[in-house]
Amino acid sequence: MNNNSNNRFSTGVDGLDEVLMGGLLPGHTYLLRGGPGTGKTTLGLQFLAAGVSQGEKALYITLEESEASLRKNASRLGLNVEGVEFLDLSPDPEYFSKVESYDIFSPAEVERSPATSAITEAVERIKPARVFIDPLTQFRYLSTDVFQFRKQVLSFLRFLSQQGATVLFSSESSPSLPDEDLQFMADGIIKLDLDEYGRTLTVQKHRGSDFVAGSHCVRLDIGGITVYPKLVPAAYGLKFSPLILSSGLPELDKMLCGGLEHGTVTFISGPSGVGKSTLGMQFIQQAASQGERSVLFSFDEEVGILMRRCESVGIKASEMVEKGMLKLEKIGPLRFTPDEFARWVRREVEEQQTRVVMLDSVSGYRLSMRGRDLVAQLHALTKYLQNMGVVVLLAVEIAHLTGDFRVTDYDISYLADNIVFLRYLEIDGQMKKAIGVLKKRLSDFEKTLREFETTQNGIQIGHPLVNLRGILTGTPSWVHNQPNP
Amino acid sequence: MSSSPEKLLIVGSNPRNQELLVEFVAKLGYTTLRADTLEMLDTLLDDAPQAAFALVDITGFGNAIWSRCARLHEMDIPLLLIAPRQSLALKQLGFAHGAQTILQKPVGMKDLADTIRGLLHPKV
């Protein structure tokens, strides 16, 4: 038996082993539930193919789809089922006329015995480590009553387990023929669903093991099924490290009492075009100068335009990308679910040692992601990044250019450890920009606004604008009789 | 008691049913004579077969089957009839022509096995 280090069987499905805390337990039986088109057969094929790739013997018992059709579909998905043994108990084309021609016994009694003999013979001959039965519920029609079905299935599953097999079996349930009885018999239950928001997988039972609860996003495409485990921030956590990321701008560092701490979430709030992305890139540039890698996910702006804008204000984005210190990713609309996106972010952090992550912008994230509970999903993602000691920058767009002071148009302020805001101001008939800090959880901060300007030489931050009044009203006014220091 | 297996006469008009019955009876340890038409049955009966038992599926033979049932009864061959449906009239006709037992389709395999054994080896 060829298992992984913690004596589990890999499912062969990327992400599912993580949900199952390492994989399936050897010798156990697992029920795979789901409606038509949810991917049960594909998952079963991947389960068997994974076994074959590890030198195990694998048996596919099909009661519905023919072996030829299954092999063809596996080939289309790019799955290698060369070494998988098939026991094809699906009806052949002659079955229709045969069934019509007898009525002396019930089909249950006529068909069951040959099926049972064929399975017994195949299992004893092949001695498979993995068996997939698709769908086991077909046996319901080979039983004369519910009691017989339950007894036969229990006996069958025990027979397979005794032969040393780990068994996955699918069910086709409907309101008139539910599969609750099978749920009690199985050691584990994996449920696949498909609705308007996409595909999901839920583990409902895993006897003898823990599992990641909840509904996990599933993608089914060439290569088979991929599961994107729901992010559980509490499962991750690094020791708190008091590292601070400087902005590289002495005035801004002074406002922030040194900079932004690792493991904190910073909102860069402001109206459109005020310079949120540029300010974020300023921190990213400083991180790169210290050898720390960053990723910026742009939901609104094309990467080329963003890079050009950075270069025009003296931020060397291309150089950072070339040196591998920065990755800029454009996220197209409705391309990912939050779970898929979170897995991508996780890989950047855990495999690429990314230390700064910027989402540009929160409203872009909300519009681009498919699925439900997007605020909760964003919360989980930022919490995870915090726990991993990453500097998180969230560009938060305000709908109105001026007027009522608001940090965000969404109810997400509670996510922020730090809030840096950018605003348009009118001073003596001229439009200016100002920067301020509204919140800093881990240190003190400067309470005044400063002028904020983006020039071809970079970001310029002026002295504190002590003559401003009514900042939090959203329409500050300038008091002339108090000179700036 | 003879050491050779007992012989059952299987009568029916549906070849697939006949195959299944022959297989089933063989698994119980009996040999069979098979008649798929009335003509085949007549020929077999003319030879005075040593059948311990006749299992007749009356479906598809029409009323002509009753005279053959009566003939089997006259030859002291115990008769088990299989009827296509629940019908009091069929039952009355069957018993009137010598049937000892009448089963209705689909027949449960265990029921049939028990009935055959019961008819061949009645407990006293």
AA letter at A469: R
Q: A2 in a domain, yes or no?
A: no
Q: Spell out the SS3 assignment of A358-425.
A: EEECHHHHHHHCCCCCHHHHHHHHHHHHHHCCCEEEEEEEECCCCCCCCCCCCCCHHHCCEEEEEEEE
B6 touches chain A (CB under 8 A): no
Please calculate the CA angle A339-A342-A347 and round it to the nearest 5 degrees: 130
Question: Residue A146 sits in which domain range?
Answer: 16-230
Indicate which CATH number applies to the domain containing B85.
Answer: 3.40.50.2300
Instruction: List chain B residues with CB under 8 Å of A109.
Output: 106, 108-109
In the prediction, which pLDDT does B56 show? 96
The answer to whether the CB of A385 falls within 8 A of the CB of A345 is yes
In sequence order, the β-bridge partners of residue A193 are A200
The CA R_g of chain B, rounded to the nearest whole Å, is: 13
How far lies B89's CA from each of A257, B67, B79, in Å? 103, 16, 18
H or E element in which residue A335 lies? none
CB contact under 8 A, A104 and B105: yes
Q: A8 in a domain, yes or no?
A: no
Instruction: List chain A residues with CB under 8 Å of B84.
Output: 103
Minimal-distance CA residue of chain B relative to A106? B106
b/e map A297-310, b = 16+ CB within 10 Å: bbbbbeeeebbebb
Residues A49, A165: one domain?
Answer: yes
Enter the pTM of the model: 0.73
Give the 3-state secondary structure of residue A468.
strand
Instruction: Please count the structural domains in chain B.
Output: 1
Instruction: Please count the structural domains in chain A.
Output: 2
Q: A463 in a domain, yes or no?
A: yes
Which of residues A213, A230, A247 is at a domain's end?
A: A230
Residues A467, A378: one domain?
Answer: yes
Here the ipTM equals 0.86
* Helix residue spans in A207-275 (DSSP H): 250-255
Q: How many CA atoms lie within 13 A of B66 on its CB side?
A: 11
Interface test with B, best of A104, A105, A112 (most B CBs within 10 A): A104
Q: A466 in a domain, yes or no?
A: yes
Indicate which CATH number applies to the domain containing A45.
Answer: 3.40.50.300
Minimal-distance CA residue of chain A relative to B24? A110
Q: A46 in a domain, yes or no?
A: yes
Which residues touch A54 (CB under 8 Å, ≥6 apart)?
A2, A10
Tokens of B35: 């008649």
Residue B2: which pLDDT band, with cuts at 50, 70 and 90?
A: very low
Q: B46 in a domain, yes or no?
A: yes
How far lies A265's CA from each of A30, A387, A407, in Å? 41, 11, 14
Q: What CA–CA distance (Å, rounded) separates A233 from A360? A: 21
Minimal-distance CA residue of chain B relative to A98? B16
Which residues touch A79 (CB under 8 Å, ≥6 apart)?
A42, A45, A46, A49, A223, A224
Give the 3-state secondary structure of residue A19.
helix
How far is CA B115 from its chain centroid? 11
Model confidence over A268-315: pLDDT tens digits? 999 888 999 999 999 999 999 999 999 999 998 999 999 999 999 999
Residues A145, A251: one domain?
Answer: no
Count, in order, helices (H) and strands (E) of chain A.
Answer: 14, 22
Tell me which long-range contacts A402-406 makes (C-beta under 8 A, separation of at least 24).
A402/A271, A402/A474, A402/A475, A403/A474, A403/A475, A404/A473, A404/A474, A405/A471, A405/A472, A405/A473, A405/A474, A406/A474
Q: Spell out the SS3 assignment of chain B.
A: CCCCCCEEEEECCCHHHHHHHHHHHHHCCCEEEEECCHHHHHHHHHCCCCCCEEEEECCCCCCHHHHHHHHHHHCCCCEEEEECCCCHHHHHHHHHCCCCEEEECCCCHHHHHHHHHHHHCCCC
Q: B54 in a domain, yes or no?
A: yes
Residues A374, A477: one domain?
Answer: yes
For residue A198, is it left (φ>0), alpha (ψ between -120 and 50) or beta?
Answer: left
How far lies A429's CA from each of A456, A476, A481, in Å? 24, 13, 17
Tell me which long-range contacts A106-115 makes (C-beta under 8 A, separation of at least 24).
A106/A144, A106/B106, A106/B108, A107/A141, A107/A142, A108/A141, A108/A142, A108/A143, A108/A144, A109/A144, A109/B106, A109/B108, A109/B109, A110/B20, A111/A142, A112/A142, A112/A143, A115/A63, A115/A89, A115/A139, A115/A142
Residues A245, A154: one domain?
Answer: no
Residues A99, A243: one domain?
Answer: no
Q: What CA–CA distance (Å, rounded) separates A452 from A459? A: 7
Give the single-character DSSP code of A138.
G
Instruction: List chain A residues with CB under 8 Å of B109.
Output: 105, 109
For residue A129, is it left (φ>0), alpha (ψ between -120 and 50) or beta?
Answer: alpha
Residues A226, A252: one domain?
Answer: no
Q: B69 in a domain, yes or no?
A: yes
Q: B89 in a domain, yes or no?
A: yes
Q: A3 in a domain, yes or no?
A: no
Q: Which of A103, A106, A144 sits opposite B17 (nearest CB)?
A: A103
Q: B34 in a domain, yes or no?
A: yes
Question: What is the distance in angstroms between the Cα of A156 and the nearest Cα belonging to chain B?
Answer: 21
B45 touches chain A (CB under 8 A): no
Among chain A, residues having any CB pair with chain B shorter than 8 Å are 98, 101-106, 109-110, 144
Which of residues A197, A212, A230 is at a domain's end?
A: A230
Instruction: List chain A residues with CB under 8 Å of B17.
Output: 101-104
Q: Which of B16, B59, B109 sits opposite A109 (nearest CB)?
A: B109
Q: B2 in a domain, yes or no?
A: no
Tell me which long-range contacts A111-117 makes (C-beta under 8 A, separation of at least 24).
A111/A142, A112/A142, A112/A143, A115/A63, A115/A89, A115/A139, A115/A142
At B118, phi and psi to the nearest 5?
Answer: -65, -40
B26 touches chain A (CB under 8 A): no
Which of residues A181, A200, A230 is at a domain's end?
A: A230
In the prediction, which pLDDT does B1 show? 41
Q: What CA–CA distance (Å, rounded) separates B84 from A98? A: 18
H or E element in which residue A462 lies? strand A458-464
pLDDT top residue among B56 and A116: B56
Under-50 pLDDT residues of chain A: 1-5, 485
Residues A241, A146: one domain?
Answer: no
The answer to whether the CB of A317 falls within 8 A of the CB of A288 is no
Model confidence over B6-52: pLDDT tens digits? 889 999 999 989 999 999 999 999 999 999 999 999 999 998 888 88
Q: B110 in a domain, yes or no?
A: yes
Residues A348, A272: one domain?
Answer: yes
* Cα dihedral sign, A62-A65-A66-A68: negative
In the prediction, which pLDDT does B4 show? 58
Q: What CA–CA distance (Å, rounded) separates A205 from A134? A: 20
Model confidence over B76-113: pLDDT tens digits? 999 999 998 878 888 899 999 999 999 999 999 999 99
Question: What is the distance in angstroms between the Cα of B70 and the nearest Cα belonging to chain A?
Answer: 23
Question: Residue B36 sits in which domain range?
Answer: 7-120
Residues A307, A434: one domain?
Answer: yes
Q: A323 in a domain, yes or no?
A: yes
Residues A323, A278: one domain?
Answer: yes
Q: A221 in a domain, yes or no?
A: yes
Interface test with A, best of B11, B13, B19, B20 (most A CBs within 10 A): B20
Give the single-character DSSP code of A9.
B
Residues A190, A258: one domain?
Answer: no
CB contact under 8 A, A103 and B14: yes
Residue found under tokens 């969404």: A410
